[in-house]
Structure 1
Amino acid sequence: MADEGLRPIIVKRIKKGGGGHHGGAWKIAYADFVTAMMAFFLLMWLLGSTSKGDLQGIADYFANPLKVAMAGGSGSGDATSVIQGGGKDLTRIDGQQKKGEDDNATKKFNLKAAEEELARAEARRLRALKERIELAIATVPSLQQYKNQLLLDITTEGLRIQIVDEKNRPMFALARAELQPYTKLILHEIAKTLNDIPNKISLSGHTDATPYASGERSYSNWELSSDRANASRRELIAGGMQEDKMLRVVGLSSAVLFDKENPFNPINRRISIIVMNKKTEESIEKENQTVDVSDEASVQKAVEQGAQIGPVAPPSGTPNPHAPALAVAAEAAAAASSAQGVTAQTPR
């Protein structure tokens, strides 16, 4: 009994960790969850801010990373791609491929819009030329007294400059193609401005309806208007206009009257200078084109392009089937001319 009282008493104490009721494992799980959420939101942000081409490049990279790393291209080798690759495209001589939006897409041009813009630009040039000539008429003392004889307007053919006669101030000598000194002065001033634009020039001469004593059978208003137009052409060139700018010189006699109510009005005697627009130039240049009327498609195309439609010339040595009808028409016209009385007057 005495030995039992001296036996030592041993007390065992178990030390528990400071992790609370469930321990510290939840912190590790929570950290993993936050990391996963951060990675997820980062992925969503990248998908939302990356272009379609870059996304395709990323997909190609993960689909076959070895090929992209060695050959480059297909998005990963592009400098704008998220994942950079290296090397040159083995299928090209130089450069890299880019799979995605094509920055070098084929450009399409609106031809009709371009033609309209060219027409507007040409109209602006013609208006500027008109204003310049009007300014010269108003400021040059030698031209101010002739301002009533200079008529400028914009027509469907281009800028028209008309030099007309006045009752006591004709441009030419009586019934001749000899220019008066002041007419030469006017033409010289106009010639100085015509080289400023590339447009071609058309020049026509006009007379009044007063006929020659010999009528139309010898020298007539047709020859007079033509001679006056050519005299004006020579004077424009003498004034400094380039020779190759002249595209057409015609004499129209009294066929196109300025004052249709009074055919004998001196204002009908005039020289008309037209600075032609591009459309008028092309129509003149195509006047000599003909097509075979047997080909309907060619006729339609020629009409659209403004070509002249006429019958096909017969082969050499083949009689013209229309010759008899033409001969009869010519005889009838000659008989009518001889039967008509002509007043013997002299045009100015």
Structure 2
Amino acid sequence: MSSDRIVIRRKKVTAHGTQHGAWKIAYADFMTAMMAFFLVMWLIAILPRESLPGIAEFFRMPLMTAITGGPQLDESSKVIPGGSPTVIPSKTTPASRHKQRSAQEEEEDRRDQRRLEDLKTDLEALIESDPVLKQFRPQLLLDMTPDGLRIQIVDQQNRPMFATGSAQVQPYMRDILRELGPVFNKLPNRITISGHTDAMQYASGEREYSNWELSADRSNAARRELVAGGLQENKVKRVLGLSSSVSLIKDNPNAAVNRRISLLVLNRRAERRIDEQDATSESLTNLKAIMDGASRPPPIYVGGKGVGDAAGAASATAAAGSEAPAVSGLAPSPAPAPAAGAAGTAR
């Protein structure tokens, strides 16, 4: 008997309309990446060639090294990203990087030299326009030296800068220094101040107060007047007293122009050399050992026995009930300042 059951088969229709825009997302990502790529290429094209090695080194630096601030090349054997040296080939070697730094320093030194030359031009214009400085123009000498711009204020027989044989600044010398003080603030360069005297010695020679002390006192007095005129206090690098060791007129060491104050605006190269000369080498001096030794007070000996401190020495002396013995290791009383000898001639 045939079955009267009816089976209806319906084909399931799936809608594809929602997937037609998927390509647009991929295309938008592609266009964004291309825009970023061409933006980077444009920025690299407009940068100076000197900056390109630095940018290349930045992208060669491992990620963890860049985050932790370590050396540019990580010598670790780790295989995690950022833990091993970069696989990007580098054309720069330590020698080439040193050469690049040297080239950059030379360029900065040339710019620094041009700034000092511009300062010399400004000073010459200031001297000609300022009524105070113009009347002392014959006593102001400006020249460029390997160490920087030098301004020398020389003495004259009828117009000395300081009182005879002393560091007392004359009023017109004070006006010159106070006018020059603010000018040196225009540049970041620091200055040195040197005092010079003639070759005429004091009556006591160099055994007591001599031309060395006089030249140092005069250069320090010039520093005070420059600061009073507006010079920033941290602009002074050194204050020197050179006595008559560097005469302006070597054939006549007793000439009045040898008595002078030299203001030297240091260039970068000269300042680096001074810093290197003054730097303390760790191989020669163990600063930590010196500081540790300075933190402990020296031993004090009373009657041949060591005492921990001055209080112990006082108690030991009181206990002895006798005349206090000599105590070594205590600071001596300051010696009186040496008296100045009579000056032979005007300095």
Coarse TM-score class (shorter-chain normalised) = 0.5 to 0.7
- RCO higher in 1 or 2 (8 Å CA, sep ≥ 6)? 2
Distance 1:257 1:198 in 2: 30
The reply to whether residue 255 of structure 1 matches residue 245 of structure 2 is yes
Distance 2:282 2:182 in 1: 44
Q: CA deviation at 1:256?
A: 1.0
State the match for 2:52 in structure 1. Answer: 107
Task: Give the alignment partner of residue 123 of structure 1, picking from 105, 113, 117.
Answer: 113
The reply to whether residue 86 of structure 1 matches residue 27 of structure 2 is yes
Distance 1:262 1:291 in 2: 42
Q: Deviations over 1:75-110 (max 9, x none)?
A: xx9xxxxxxx63658xxxxx6489x99948892153
State the match for 2:274 in structure 1. Answer: 284
State the match for 1:238 in structure 2. Answer: 228
Distance 2:282 2:155 in 1: 46
Maintained 8 Å contact 2:165/2:343? no
Maintained 8 Å contact 2:196/2:259? yes
Matches within 5 A, 1:263-342: 263-291=253-281
Which runs of 5 or more residues in structure 1 are unaligned?
A: 1-69, 78-84, 90-94, 294-309, 318-342
Distance 2:265 2:168 in 1: 24
Q: CA deviation at 1:142?
A: 2.3
State the match for 1:144 in structure 2. Answer: 134
Identity percentage of aligned residues: 47
Task: Give the alignment partner of residue 213 of structure 2, picking from 213, 219, 223.
Answer: 223
Which runs of 5 or more residues in structure 2 are unaligned?
A: 1-21, 45-50, 55-99, 294-341
Distance 2:241 2:182 in 1: 24
Bigger radius of gyration among the two: 1
Distance 2:227 2:343 in 1: 36
Distance 2:282 2:161 in 1: 46
Q: CA deviation at 1:141?
A: 2.2
Distance 2:212 2:343 in 1: 16
Matches within 5 A, 1:14-163: 86=27, 88=29, 96=33, 103=41, 107-108=52-53, 110-163=100-153
The reply to whether residue 165 of structure 1 matches residue 155 of structure 2 is yes
Distance 1:280 1:253 in 2: 22
Q: CA deviation at 1:311?
A: 8.2
Maintained 8 Å contact 1:161/1:273? yes
Q: CA deviation at 1:119?
A: 1.5
Q: Match of 2:221, SS?
A: helix
Distance 1:235 1:226 in 2: 15
> TM-score with structure 2 length normalisation?
0.57
Matches within 5 A, 1:151-230: 151-230=141-220
Distance 2:247 2:34 in 1: 71
> TM-score with structure 1 length normalisation?
0.57
Q: For the aligned residues, what is the CA RMSD? A: 3.3
Number of aligned pairs? Answer: 225
Distance 1:143 1:344 in 2: 30
Q: Deviations over 1:178-214 (max 9, x none)?
A: 1111101111111121111111011010001111111
